Amino acid sequence: MAMIEMKNLSKWYGSFQVLKDCSTRVDRGEVVVVCGPSGSGKSTLIKCVNALERFQQGEVIIDGISVGAPGTDLPRLRARVGMVFQHFELFPHLSIMENLTLGQIRVLGRGADEARDKGVKLLERVGLREQAEKFPGQLSGGQQQRVAIARALAMDPMCMLFDEPTSALDPEMINEVLDVMVELAQEGMTMMCVSHEMGFARKVANRVIFMDRGEIVEDALKEDFFGKPRSERAQQFLSKILHH
Amino acid sequence: MSALDLSFFNADLVRQFLWNGFVFSIQLTLVAMAGGILIGTLLALLRLSGRSWLALPAAAYVNTMRSVPLVMVILWFFLLIPFVIGRPLGAEWSAIITFTLFEAAYYSEIMRAGIQSVSRGQVYAGNALGLTYFQTMRLIVLPQAFRNMLPVLLTQTIILFQDTSLVYAIGAYDLLKGFETAGKNFNRPVEAYLLAAAVYFVICYALSSVVKQLQTRIAIAR
Amino acid sequence: MNFRWEWEVFLRDTGGGETYLHWMFSAWGWTLSVAACAWIIAILFGAVIGTLRTVPSLLLARLANAWVELFRNIPLLVQIFIWYHVIPSLYKPLQEVPSFILVVFALGFFTSARVAEQVRAGIQSLPDGQRYAGLAMGLTLPQTYRFVLLPMAFRIIVPPLTSESMNIIKNSSVAFAVSISELTLFALQAQEETSRGIEVYLAVTGLYMLTAFAVNRLMAFVEQRVRVPGTLGAAR
């Protein structure tokens, strides 16, 4: 059964069309990597999944609930979809622990102690137990992104969205974040990742989606995608990023 | 009195009560702006001259003016000018001197920021051409600073125009006083104050729209 | 010019059984009260109006913009006259309200437009991602403002708010025009009664500067207290 399903999604900024008739699905337990050149609309696409960006045409359905329907309780739906951003977006005025407990307390209605226990467990899991009382500005980029993943996991999400989680990181910090993501994938988390990390895709992805100019050009099983991408655009893109 | 009655407002009233006040408010604004920018620029140059015997007195002047309420400054000058020149001076002239010297402090802060916004490299380039400090300032730095700061200078002028109403404290006859006098004469103070507010609003809103357009144009030119 | 100081003027009786010194300090109290009460109104309304200018609703944003333009483009003195002379005569129940309250609203609303401008700028200076991150974890838009955007925006705008809070002390002087017995009115009247303008003005000016300095220190303390560890200028 599909966890995330997109049907004929189109979006315009004014007269400029950023998404053209995009359709795909992510099944329960599946890991899908979305790649493509900058400006191809992949970031917009993933933000449409939990309606951070509005779309004008088409439909997104998460766990049977239509995101764009007028009656949908978006905050409730978003609470069940974890999201990790390119620039981490931890809340700078809150301590690491407060970043992890804010949503649990205010959205899920958990008690402070319960939220804290959960926070400690997740920080342990991403290897940052000692940093709990620090503030985001005192952590390295890689550490901040691991906290951001823990923050999303604290809400017990049914699936996770990653929007270029490693592209703002210094090279030496990329692996510590990817390791956490690989582990998550191996545990069976449903994941949709906008990423250029082809090593990560090779390792854990079930499918790879290639986007260009607002269109989904390729949507293939990992083996097929890396074996013989059918479109010329995808081939060019792959040769560019795999060169080094 | 219940409903507003604007029938007393006609051309005759404008000529009799408002025109002189309006002209004075505009004059006061323009003179204080021109004089204030001139003296303010001078003060800014002194503060940035790097010589403490020039910079410190200029800084003291600017900071003193900026930490005292304008109404008190108006009262101070009205009290002191006759002392200094040895004879009484009308409220209007006193206001013109006060506003010029007072606004100079505010304009000088703007010009200082403007001068500092011009890159150091421009000064080096001027010096490398053999220009003196003051030539570099006059020919190279100040024109750029002035252009960069034009919107801020104009915004300050809008504030200045609003502040001219404070000459009320020494009884000078300005735009607001004109409305007030007219209101008293026709026993229509409510309408008079509302009209005064409307006139100030229209002028200031129009000017701030100009500033907004200027800002976008300067932003594009960069 | 032969001028002789006559500071004893402050010990003279005003004719009402108190000295000018007494009067001056009570006037200082009025200045502080007007400024403090107006400040509360300015912060409350400024925060709400400034926030509304950044929300997705076009209608609310327009209304908030209109508020700012209205209170920013009319001189404070004219606004005070309107609150004092016009509004009570258009709405009778307000005639019972003491002029202190009216002036507080005049100064508070006037300043709220400037505070709103700062709040808007503070919110818009935050990266879009912060809003996204708040919404993505399931916070509602009001919750996102309350827990994510406003706490950071207010920290960012402490310096401009410092100069606004010093302005409000200075601007409270305009209340003299509707006979609020604050420092400037004291200066005018005491000067008239004693003819010792220089001493009176010096003392009053000194009190204004002292107040402004105290407010400045207070706000610097606030800035220190709310500073976020790990951000620019904070000890790590």
Evaluate whether chains B and C are touching (3 or more beta carbon pairs less than 8 Å apart). Answer: yes
Facing residue for B196 by CB, picked from C78, C172, C209: C78
H or E segment to which residue B19 belongs: helix B19-47
Report CA-CA distances (Å) from B147 to A118, B126, B134, B142, B152: 57, 18, 18, 8, 10
Q: Is residue C176 part of a domain?
A: yes
Q: Looking at residue B29, what DSSP letter applies?
A: H
Facing residue for C228 by CB, picked from A74, A93, A152: A93
Whether residue B76 and residue C205 make contact (CB cut-off 8 A), yes or no, is yes
Q: Is residue B56 part of a domain?
A: yes
Q: Is residue B165 part of a domain?
A: yes
Query: CA-CA distance, A140 to A176, in Å (whole number)?
Result: 11
Q: Is residue C1 part of a domain?
A: no
Question: How many structural domains does chain C have?
Answer: 1
Kindly report the nearest CA distance between residue A154 and chain C, in angstroms: 10
Q: Is residue B75 part of a domain?
A: yes
Structural domain boundaries, residue C61: 7-226
Whether residue C173 and residue B71 make contact (CB cut-off 8 A), yes or no, is yes
B165 at interface of C, judged by CB pairs closer than 8 A: yes
Q: Is residue B129 part of a domain?
A: yes
pLDDT in tens, B133-142: 888 888 899 9
Which subunits count as partners of chain B given 3+ CB pairs below 8 Å? Answer: C
Q: Is residue B195 part of a domain?
A: no
Give the angle subtended at the CA of B135 by the CAs of B43 and B146, to the nearest 5°.
55
Q: Is residue C234 part of a domain?
A: no
Q: Is residue C80 part of a domain?
A: yes
User: Residue B72: closest CA among chain C residues belongs to which residue?
Assistant: C184
pLDDT in tens, B46-56: 999 888 999 99
C31 at interface of B, judged by CB pairs closer than 8 A: no
Res C232: pLDDT: 56
Q: Is residue C235 part of a domain?
A: no
Question: How many structural domains does chain B have?
Answer: 1
Whether residue A155 and residue C155 make contact (CB cut-off 8 A), yes or no, is no
Res C11: pLDDT: 86
Percent of chain A with pLDDT over 70: 99
> What ipTM did this prediction achieve?
0.92
Percent of chain C with pLDDT over 70: 97
Query: CA-CA distance, C21 to C32, in Å (whole number)?
Result: 17
Whether residue B75 and residue C70 make contact (CB cut-off 8 A), yes or no, is no
Q: Looking at residue B131, what DSSP letter applies?
A: -
Res B12: pLDDT: 78
User: Residue C228: closest CA among chain A residues belongs to which residue?
Assistant: A93
Res B187: pLDDT: 86
Res A232: pLDDT: 86
B27 at interface of C, judged by CB pairs closer than 8 A: no
Percent of chain C with pLDDT over 90: 76
Query: CA-CA distance, B80 to B86, in Å (whole number)?
Result: 10
Query: CA-CA distance, B139 to A78, in Å (whole number)?
Result: 59
| Pairs of CB atoms within 8 A across A/C | 88
Kindly report the nearest CA distance between residue C218 and chain A, in angstroms: 21
CATH number at residue B167: 1.10.3720.10
Mutate which: C137, C158, C231, vs A, most A CBs within 10 A: C137
Q: Is residue B52 part of a domain?
A: yes
Report residue B10's pLDDT band, with 50, 70 and 90 as the boundaries.
Answer: confident
Query: CA-CA distance, B216 to C24, in Å (whole number)?
Result: 49
Q: Is residue B151 part of a domain?
A: yes
Q: Is residue C233 part of a domain?
A: no
Query: CA-CA distance, A111 to A115, in Å (whole number)?
Result: 6
Q: Which chain C residues have a beta carbon less than 8 Å from that of B83?
A: 1, 3
Of A64-78, A229-243, C65-79, the one with minimum mean pLDDT is A229-243
**Residue C236 pLDDT greater than 50, yes or no:** no
Q: Is residue C100 part of a domain?
A: yes
pLDDT in tens, A176-211: 999 999 999 999 999 999 999 999 999 999 999 999
Facing residue for A103 by CB, picked from C139, C155, C234: C139
Across residues A144-173, what is the average pLDDT?
95
Whether residue A107 and residue C132 make contact (CB cut-off 8 A), yes or no, is no
Q: Is residue C14 part of a domain?
A: yes
Structural domain boundaries, residue B157: 22-177
CATH number at residue C169: 1.10.3720.10
Q: Is residue B72 part of a domain?
A: yes
